[in-house]
């Protein structure tokens, strides 16, 4: 794709926005059209096969971009009865913002349009509409900003296709505004620096964004905060290091008069990932939000679960099933543990969500007639069923993964780590693949299940 064609594609969403504005109602109309189209194909299994066939990518193509999505939806336009603007809404709410100027698609966001099923007005349907509308608004704003920046360039316009250019442009509104505020009110820099120091140079998201909004007087949209979290906390440690913030600031001419550290926490953690899990020494930095059973890397998780497994095995035949001390109820009478596992505050966020008191927690083997298995005879997208929690974002992602067994269980069916096997690079990759990687399967005999969840929000 050339820089000229990239700009032309970005202009399409700007033009469409002038006609449709915020597409809240349009999202519902589009979704209903897709549902009606699917239902003509028969039962859920027949619908799934038909959709998969219609959306099948060309051989050798790993990821869609705007051009290929437009080609695919144009083929289906008459069949689904989509308008040109509705196609534009589907496409531009399915872009990967990490590579916006290359116009690459986020396949998970695209497939949500076709894989989700709602019956009547529901919490998950409202969440879907709100999410798509937020993506649309953020994409429109960023597209307009790219077009404006491109128009001001007198040379090297092809640079807009580079990751370095986009990474700078993506945060430029905030970065330039912050630089302007600090220049006019230098005491704000000193106040923020002291705030970092008071927290050992690691500031929580909430504290930073509260300072930015109420002290620096810069109001950010939620999607802007999410983007900044991803940039300033690339290892998803749930806090922002001053060294990382200093590096970000330099890109927009903000000088803290402090050199960048060579071995900051992100560098240290990156180096630790090259160690064998047997030599891995767990520290507080390996724990997500300070929780000792939520680890930030596979190596740390493997080191931790091995410790727990060995400790449990010492009990011999009297060894008990592992009970997570940090998640879920510890017993049938532990109402608080169950409530906190469902909702961050322990309470349903609004009307329509299930109350914790209405839920009974049991182990899977109490529900199943035969010994439960994570995957038995293969998976399909309709195996992922949403209950009454507002977690359509999770269920839709799982339904996409469920179209391919290896994305869930990794490797090959029945594969798990044998301590005696010789593990080369290819085999290591297979053992580490999936939501439930084979490298962790053997620990389930003691009730230890290690699930990989990538934080991308």
We report the CATH number of the domain holding residue 196 as: 1.10.238
Report yes or no on 278 lying in a domain.
Answer: no
| pLDDT greater at residue 153 or residue 350 | 153
Please say which residue of 162, 193, 217 terminates a domain: 162
243 versus 402: the higher-pLDDT residue is 243
- Pair 181, 142 in one domain: no
Same domain (yes/no): 115, 213: no
Tell me what the mean pLDDT of segment 241-270 comes to.
81
Q: What is the pLDDT, as a whole number, of residue 113? A: 92
Does residue 346 belong to any structural domain of this protein? no
Query: What percent of the chain shows pLDDT beyond 90?
Result: 36
Q: Indicate if 158 and 226 belong to the same structural domain.
A: no
Residue 289 lies in a domain: no
442, with CB counted inside 10 A (0-12, 13-18, 19+), is: middle
- pLDDT value at residue 262: 67
pLDDT at 61: 58
Place of tokens 């915020």: 22
Q: Please check whether residues 211 and 134 belong to one and the same domain.
A: no
Whether 79 and 135 map to the same domain: the answer is yes
C-beta of residue 390 within 8 angstroms of C-beta of residue 123: yes
Q: Which domain holds residue 251?
A: 171-264
Q: Is the pLDDT of residue 435 over 90?
A: no
Domain end position, chosen among 245, 264, 283: 264
Residue 316 in any domain: the answer is: no
Residue 374 tokens, joined? 């994570």
Q: Is residue 91 part of a domain?
A: yes
Q: Are residues 123 and 204 in the same domain?
A: no
- Domain assignment present for residue 317? The answer is no
User: Looking at the structure, do residues 185 and 235 belong to the same domain, yes or no?
Assistant: yes
**Same domain membership, residue 45 and residue 135:** yes
Confirm whether 402 is domain-assigned: yes
Domain edge (last residue) among 213, 234, 264: 264
Please check whether residues 96 and 74 belong to one and the same domain.
yes
pLDDT in tens, 22-50: 788 899 899 999 999 999 999 888 888 89
From first CA to last CA, the distance across the chain in angstroms is: 28
Calculated CA dihedral for residues 264, 265, 270, 274, nearest 10 degrees: 100
Number of domains in the chain: 3
Residue with tokens 């069949």: 79
Claim: this prediction has a pTM higher than 0.85: no
Domain annotation covers residue 46 = yes
Two tokens at 90? 């589907």
């Amino acid at each position: 794709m050339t820089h000229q064609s990239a700009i032309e594609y970005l202009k399409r969403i700007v033009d469409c926005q002038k006609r449709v504005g915020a597409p809240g109602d349009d999202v519902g109309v589009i979704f209903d059209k897709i549902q009606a189209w699917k239902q003509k194909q028969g039962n859920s299994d027949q619908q799934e096969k038909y959709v998969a066939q219609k959306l099948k990518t060309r051989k050798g193509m790993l990821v869609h971009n705007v051009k290929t999505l437009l080609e695919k939806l144009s083929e289906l336009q008459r069949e689904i009865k989509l308008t040109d603007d509705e196609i534009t809404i589907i496409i531009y709410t399915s872009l990967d913002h990490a590579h916006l100027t290359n116009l690459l698609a986020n396949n998970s966001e695209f497939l949500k349009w076709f894989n989700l099923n709602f019956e009547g007005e529901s919490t998950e349907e409202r969440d879907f509409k709100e999410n798509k509308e937020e993506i649309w608004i953020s994409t429109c704003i960023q597209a307009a900003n790219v077009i404006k920046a491109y128009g001001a360039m007198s040379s090297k316009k092809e640079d807009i296709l580079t990751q370095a250019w986009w990474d700078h442009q993506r945060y430029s509104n905030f970065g330039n505004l912050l630089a302007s505020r600090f220049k006019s009110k230098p005491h704000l820099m000193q106040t923020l620096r002291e705030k970092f120091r008071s927290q050992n140079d690691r500031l929580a998201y909430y504290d930073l964004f509260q300072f930015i909004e109420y002290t620096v007087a810069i109001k950010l949209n939620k999607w802007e905060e999410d983007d900044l979290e991803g940039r300033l906390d690339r290892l998803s440690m749930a806090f922002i290091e001053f060294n990382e913030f200093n590096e970000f600031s330099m890109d927009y001419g903000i000088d803290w008069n402090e050199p960048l550290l060579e071995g900051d926490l992100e560098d240290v953690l990156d180096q630790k990932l090259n160690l064998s899990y047997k030599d891995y020494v767990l520290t507080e930095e390996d724990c997500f939000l300070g929780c000792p059973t939520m680890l930030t890397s596979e190596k740390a998780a493997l080191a931790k679960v091995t410790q727990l497994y060995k400790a449990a095995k010492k009990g011999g035949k009297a060894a008990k099933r592992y009970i997570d001390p940090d998640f879920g109820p510890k017993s049938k009478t532990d109402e608080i543990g169950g409530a906190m596992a469902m909702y961050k505050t322990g309470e349903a966020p609004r009307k329509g969500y299930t109350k914790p008191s209405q839920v009974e927690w049991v182990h899977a083997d109490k529900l199943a007639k035969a010994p439960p298995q994570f995957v038995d005879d293969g998976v399909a997208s309709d195996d992922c069923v949403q209950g009454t929690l507002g977690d359509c974002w999770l269920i839709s992602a799982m339904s996409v993964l469920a179209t391919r067994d290896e994305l869930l269980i990794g490797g090959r069916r029945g594969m798990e780590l044998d301590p005696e096997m010789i593990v080369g690079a290819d085999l290591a990759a297979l053992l580490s693949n999936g939501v439930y990687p084979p490298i962790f399967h053997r620990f389930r005999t003691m009730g230890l299940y290690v699930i990989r969840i990538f934080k991308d929000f």
